[in-house]
């Protein structure tokens, strides 16, 4: 499929809109993630929202893992992991969209070339493995997946599985520590 060509003016407008959108999401995400005290009030929807906002920031890490651990102390850990995994993986769509729009150019970097080769070879498994590891550079994976035109469903599926498995360990870890020390 041939990529639609945008005029230089359209490209500039698209870059500006993406920059404003990503900056707004990053600022909102950083504010929301720091509000651990509201998890009990907002429940699983709050865990989802915090995970989404924290991961919607491109190249600006926010500690969504801390929300998952803390939420696991007061909410059911499995559902915390499910909400966190869904929110975090959907938040990664910003990197994917940046890559598919062509507004972020990384092709000349050696790390991009190596990651692109690994992604082409391993696909969803490559994404799953990197999503599982607490990795602020995962945004680059989304950018590469978008630039390579990986189907968005495959990208999201790999990101969800990796982030869900990690969130499961973190939420049950928070639950276990809380019960061990405070007899919850």
Read out DSSP for 141-180? HHHHHHHTT--HHHHHHHHHHHHHHHHHHHHHHHHHHHHH
Whole-angstrom CA distances from 71 to 21, 48, 62, 67, 151 are 28, 11, 16, 6, 32
The number of distinct structural domains making up the chain is 1
Q: Is residue 32 part of a domain?
A: yes
CB atoms within 10 A of CB 134: 13
Q: Is residue 1 part of a domain?
A: no
Q: If you search the block for the tokens 């003016």, which residue do you land on? A: 9
Per-residue pLDDT of the chain (184 residues; tens, 9 = 90+): 555 566 778 767 766 776 676 666 656 655 555 555 555 567 888 888 888 888 877 655 566 777 888 888 888 999 999 999 999 999 888 888 888 876 566 666 777 777 778 888 888 898 989 899 877 778 788 888 888 889 999 999 999 999 999 999 999 988 777 666 666 5
Q: Is residue 117 part of a domain?
A: yes
Q: If you search the block for the tokens 């696909």, which residue do you land on? A: 123
What whole-number distance in Å separates Cα of residue 141 and Cα of residue 144? 5
- Which residues are CB-contacts of 176 (< 8 A; sequence separation ≥ 6)? none
Strand, coil or helix: 173? helix
Evaluate whether 62 touches 52 at the Cβ level (below 8 Å). no
> Domain of 173?
10-177
Q: Is residue 104 part of a domain?
A: yes
Q: Is residue 4 part of a domain?
A: no
Write out pLDDT tens, residues 84-131.
999 999 988 888 888 887 656 666 677 777 777 888 888 889 898 989
- Which residues are CB-contacts of 142 (< 8 A; sequence separation ≥ 6)? 92, 93, 94, 95, 96, 98, 99, 155, 159
- What is residue 168's predicted lDDT score, i.e. its pLDDT? 95
End-to-end CA distance of the chain: 56
Question: pTM to 2 decimals?
Answer: 0.72
Evaluate whether 90 touches 96 at the Cβ level (below 8 Å). no
- What is residue 29's predicted lDDT score, i.e. its pLDDT? 55
Q: Is residue 75 part of a domain?
A: yes
Q: Is residue 36 part of a domain?
A: yes
Q: Is residue 182 part of a domain?
A: no
């Amino acid at each position: 499929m041939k990529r639609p060509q945008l005029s230089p003016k359209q490209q500039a407008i698209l870059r500006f809109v993406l920059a404003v959108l990503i900056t707004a999401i990053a600022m909102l995400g950083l504010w929301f993630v720091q509000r651990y005290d509201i998890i009990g009030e907002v429940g699983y929807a709050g865990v989802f929202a915090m995970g989404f906002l924290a991961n919607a920031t491109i190249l600006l890490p926010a500690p969504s893992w801390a929300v998952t651990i803390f939420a696991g102390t007061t909410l059911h850990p499995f559902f915390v992991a499910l909400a966190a995994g869904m929110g975090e993986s959907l938040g990664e769509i910003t990197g994917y969209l940046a890559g598919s729009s062509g507004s972020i150019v990384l092709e000349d970097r050696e790390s991009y070339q190596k990651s692109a080769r690994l992604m082409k070879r391993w696909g969803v498994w490559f994404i799953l493995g990197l999503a599982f590891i607490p990795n602020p550079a995962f945004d680059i994976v989304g950018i590469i997946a978008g630039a390579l035109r990986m189907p968005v469903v495959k990208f999201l599926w790999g990101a969800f599985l990796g982030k869900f498995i990690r969130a499961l360990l973190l939420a049950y870890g928070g639950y276990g520590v809380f019960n061990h020390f405070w007899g919850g």
